A and B are shown apart, each in its own frame.
Chain A
């Protein structure tokens, strides 16, 4: 009898403990960007840390969220990056590994998620979920030499009112943040100074006048768009 009465109490206790726990594996579909591709043969390397990224809230003052973003990030980069370049070589080995060589490939992109933050409606006293993501983008040449290393930020928010659950709202905010990252990269990738200089040098050496002209046109268009917006 004693053990029987303990069952509902244990159930209630476990319910109370899990009431503020949220488990989320981010899922989303990402559109391919409409953009004139850069005249480069590119590949990407996703680190194990990126693919297994799992944010676990450690603060005692906040709800216990566990957010897995690895597969969503891979889906996002797999859609975005091939559309930014004229030729895409797919996934590459780690360009930081010894004896790395990827013949025929101009650049290897290695994105790293360096910071992830969120805000819940009850914290911001608004009806929106907000997400901030900060990426360290690293660009390597086909021989493994580091070409550029810079940070890009992304922001996403979603109103909570029309969502089924907090998890749905958080998922949507992260998807919006990744889309914002895509907008940022589409607009600004060709403007990374080290990449521009390298392309200018390379085109000058190879005498690639046509691709250079195309790239200059592309940069001018983006410059104009940016100035206007």
Chain B
């Protein structure tokens, strides 16, 4: 049985569509010390009027940090923000580590944070957006059937920066940035077949893995590049 040529062409495109480039940069100015009961929280910045750090990206990074038996306990973002309401709402969330000191003058807030055994906060700012699109796909239906024909493509770009704050010392521990780019394709030969570049997902994995290395003590004595 011969493989149809268009199927080969689609598979070739699929391999192209899977390509996403991710660049991770890290700056660390202090080592981390996570005790056995210490926990961290990963929070999204939501103060910008033009974009919003996606909640699914935050939960993906949190999941990646606690994966691979890392032993890092991550407080779910929603639970943390709800139980400390309204101190981590966009209007009131601290923008600098030293402002945590002013925040915990509210005794109930300090008590609640202590109950969480919070040691580090990870703030993630950024988003994923479509930067360019080209081509078109048209669909038609008639008495004899229907189908779609055409070709579309679009570029996506993720740009995230994570800041790690030490709650106890109220200082910045590290910054990690993740830039990811990729192009998705949508060829349509009767049936449209989306070949998606997993840009946000790859940015999440890159960012999450790098953050996990910051928190997990490394036998070689430093964070991995």
Write the residues of chain A forming the contact surface with B, with a CB cutoff of 8 angstroms: 31-36, 126-128, 157-159, 161-162, 179-180, 182-184, 186-187, 221, 224-225, 227-229
Contacts and interface: CB of A to CB of B under 8 A. Distances in A.
27 contacts: A31-B82, A34-B84, A34-B108, A34-B109, A34-B112, A35-B108, A36-B108, A127-B129, A128-B52, A157-B46, A158-B52, A159-B52, A159-B54, A159-B55, A179-B85, A179-B89, A180-B89, A183-B86, A183-B91, A183-B92, A186-B86, A187-B91, A225-B92, A227-B102, A228-B98, A228-B102, A229-B92
A161 B110 CA distance: 35
Contacts of B94: 228-229
B103 interface: yes
Contacts, number: 77
Contacts of B99: 228-229
B106 A162 contact: no
Nearest to B102: A228
A158 B49 CA distance: 10
Interface residues of B, number: 32
Contact of A34 (B46, B54, B85, B102): B85
Contacts of A179: 85-86, 89
Contact of A161 (B46, B54, B98): B54
A36 B105 CA distance: 11
B95 A229 contact: yes
Contacts of B50: 126
Given A31-B82, A128-B52, A182-B85, 5 more contacts: A33-B86, A34-B109, A126-B50, A184-B91, A221-B106
Contact of A162 (B55, B89, B105, B109): B55
Nearest to B48: A157
B91 A126 contact: no
Contacts of A186: 86
A126 B90 CA distance: 19
A228 B83 CA distance: 22
A31 B106 contact: no
Contacts of B95: 229
Contact of A221 (B82, B83, B90, B105): B105
Contacts of B102: 224-225, 227-229
Nearest to B57: A162
B87 interface: yes
